[in-house]
Structure 1
C-alpha cells in the first residue's frame, strides 16, 4: 500500500494506529509527510468551517497531553487564516502561540497519526464566531471595558488575599458592580442587542461539579448553560456583557475554590480526598449560586419597573438556547459522600470573593 492508501484506511477506521504506524515507517518519508499533512489539513478545514474555534480545538487536543499535537493545531489555525477575508477579530485573537521545534521524525509521525484519529471523531458544532472568509451578520454588544477592568481588579484582590473575610468582601463588590452595570444597560436607550453564546472550557478532574459552578454563576446573571462533557466545554447563552461577567466570575471563583479545597482537605487516603473534593465542589456551587442571586436581587430591589424587561431578556436567552439545543437532558446531581467536604465547601463559598 502507498502512504496515501494507509492514511485513507486510518481515516475510514479500517486500520488501527499501531499497524498503520508500522507500515508508514517503512514508506518513503516525503510520501508519508505529504499524505499525513493533506489528511490533517482536510480535518482541520472541516472542523474550523463547522464551528470549532482555534482556542477550543487547541484546548481539546492539548488536554490529551501531547505537546506536538497541540502545536500542530496552532500551526493549522495560523495556516487556515491566511488569504481569507473578512476575519472576525475574535477568531484571529485565539490563534495559539507556538515555537518551531525539531522532533524525532517517527515521534512526529506517531503524534500526527494519533491526532488524525482524534480529529475524525470530533463532530461539527454550532458556529458562534464566523470562520475566516465568512461575513459576520451578528451584532454584538460588549460590556464596557472599564467596568470589566474594575471587576477583574477586584477579583484579582480576592484571589490574592489569605484572609477569607477580605476575599468575600472583594467578591461581593464585584457582583454588585456587575449587577449595577446590568441595570444601566437595561435602562439605556434601545440598541440592537440580542443574546448569543460562548463556549467556556470545563477541565477535569471533577468536570460535572465545575460545570455546576459555572451554571450557578450563569443563572445568577440571567444566562443559561448547556454542558457537553464529551467535548470538555459548556455553552453559555446570554447577552454579551452578561457572559463577559460570568466568565470572569467563574474563573476567579474556581481559583478561590481550589485554594480553599487544598487548604481544608484531609491529609490521608486517596478515596477520602476524592470524596472530600467532590462534595466540597457540590456544596461550593450551590452556596455560591445562593449568594450571587441574593446580591443581584438586593441590587434590583429598587427597580421593580425593570422586571418585565428582565423577564423578556430571560425569555430571549432561553429561546436562543433552545434553538441551538432543542433537546437537552438534565444532568444527574453529583453524590455527596463526605460531610466534611460539604461543610468545608459551604464555608469556603461564604468566604469567597464575589467582587
Structure 2
C-alpha cells in the first residue's frame, strides 16, 4: 500500500464484484472482454468460493487471485489451477501480486491439489495459459518456482477480409452425401454422445455452444432424419464471444473440405454478430487456418506447473513487505 501498511488477504464476497471488474478492466490490457473473463472465472470457482482471494486495504479491494481445483485426472493426482491474478494500478510493485499468488496456492494445496498449474481450465477456460505480453505476471510466476511447459498459441482472423462463402463447397459436399447445417437442441442426445467419443472436454464445450440461441455450433452429417451420422462439428463463442473452437472432422471425411466449411460458417456467425476479428484458440494446425481463412499467428501463452510443497506462506511474504 502507498502508506506502507499491509493489506488483508480474505475470501472475495459478491459485493466486491464491482471493484473486481474495475481491476480486471485496468489490468487485462490485451483482453477487451475483461468483464466476460472475470465473470467466467468467478463462476468457475463457484463450488470452492474460498479460492477467490482479494487483497483488502482498509476496505478498498486492491488485488485479486482466483483458483480452481480440477477433478482428479489420474490416481493420486489432482491439479490446482491459478486462473487469474491482478493488482490495481497504484498498488503494484509492493508485493501484493506475490502475496496473492502465495495465498491462492496455499488454499489450493489445503483443498487437495497435488500439482499447481498456470494453464487453461477446459471446458470453462479464459486462456490456454499466461499471455507472454503480461510480462510482470510471467516474471512473478517464474520467480515463484513454476516450471515452464510447452507454449500454446492463438491465431487471429480478420473477419472483414476473409472469404467466408460456403455455398459452392456445401453443394459439392452434398453431392458426396455430406450435409452441413447448424446444430439444434434436438440434436443434443445423439450429438453429445458422439462428441464424447472425442475425449477430453469437447462434449461439455459443445453442450455450452448448443445452449446459446441460436446455437453456436455447426455440424456435418451423413444420412437423413434418425439415420443421420455426425461426421464433423465446429463451435464458436463457447467461453468468449470472439473465440473459435473446438472443431473436429471424422477421419472418413478428412481431405474433403468439411472442416473449412464448418470453420467459415462459424466465423460468418461471428461477423454477423458484429465482430471484426475472431481468435482461433489453442491451435495446432497453423497451415489449415492460414490457408482456409487467412488467419495469422497472434497470441503466445506459456504454461506453467510446480509442486505445491514449493508454495510460499502468504502471511510470511506480507511480513517481508513491512
Tell me, yes or no, whether TM beats 0.5. Answer: no
The structure number with the bigger radius of gyration is: 1
When you count strand as a share of all residues, which structure comes out higher?
2
Name the one with the larger helix percent: 1
